[in-house]
Homo-oligomer: A and B are copies of this chain.
Amino acid sequence: MDAKVEHQPHPFDAATQVECTDGRWRGATSDDYHAFVGQFGGATTATLLRALMAHPDRAGDPLALTVNFCAPVSNGAFDLAPRLVKATRSTQHWSIDLTQPDVGVAAFGTAVFAQRRETWSHQPAEKPQTSHYEDTPVYSRAGVAAAWIRQFEFRFAENAPNFGGAPHPEPASPHTKAWIGHSVPRVIDLISLSAIADAFFARIFHVRGELLPIGTVSMTTYFHVDAADLATEATTAVLGVADANVFHKSFSDQTGELWSASGRLLATTHQITYFKA
């Protein structure tokens, strides 16, 4: 990363910035993170998390974050209403609403923050064997319609999609493994992780081999590292493993794991997604 880049706000940080003036929290969408309809949910999620992390009453690091997507976030500004619901000695429970004048509540979330201290530590889950980041070809996003996809670099280690051809005659596997980082290199912090948790392509695209109307309805991410743990990884790409269990009556689930190259499970994420098929 050269000095010039370091002195500019990274597109991700620019897109997810928040400000608080006289107790009013505000943010705005960025054209860089536009999705097919409204803003990329991961950018919305990261903005909510950034507001909570920037709040003067916040203590500790994010542990759990749930975001409910009620309506597309329209281009332009929005208000944020963070609220500390309950604080205990070492944890905090927050809620936050995102509202727009023409939409009302477009998204709202709940989060748990914790001041995490060393304890017994054990990771039964093992990082899947894949090609290394450096050896995995960059997935071409040429011709991709949604702006947000160009903000991330995907390197599929397994089950790369091929959307150019005919739809699959039979359902294919929803399972994928891909290295994911910001297109403009940026060290991955907890706010990045919260966005990358929503950066998997919709599972139905992989299963059906075609693009269909979809939308995340609710997403939950658990952080298995705190800021200090993640800083020691100093990573610019994570291995994202995603899958789905069920597609039924307009909704499917998605499960995701975000791994560091060193073999540490940084976060797990789950969402329920609307589909039209």
Contact = CB atoms under 8 A, between A and B. Distances in A.
Interface of A: 63-64, 66, 68, 70-71, 85-86, 88, 90-91, 93, 95, 97, 104-105, 108, 110, 112, 114, 116-125, 171, 173-174, 207, 217-218, 220, 222, 224-226, 229, 243-251, 253, 255, 257, 265, 268, 270, 272, 274-277
Given A66-B218, A222-B270, A270-B222, A249 B112 contact: no
The binding surface of chain A is classed by DSSP as: strand
The 3 closest A-B pairs by CB, nearest first: A116-B249, A70-B86, A125-B245
Contacts of A86: 70-71, 104-105
A277 to B, nearest CB: 4
Nearest to A248: B121
Contacts of A226: 249
Given A64-B218, A86-B105, A249 B119 contact: yes
Contact of A119 (B114, B124, B250): B250
A45 to B, nearest CB: 14
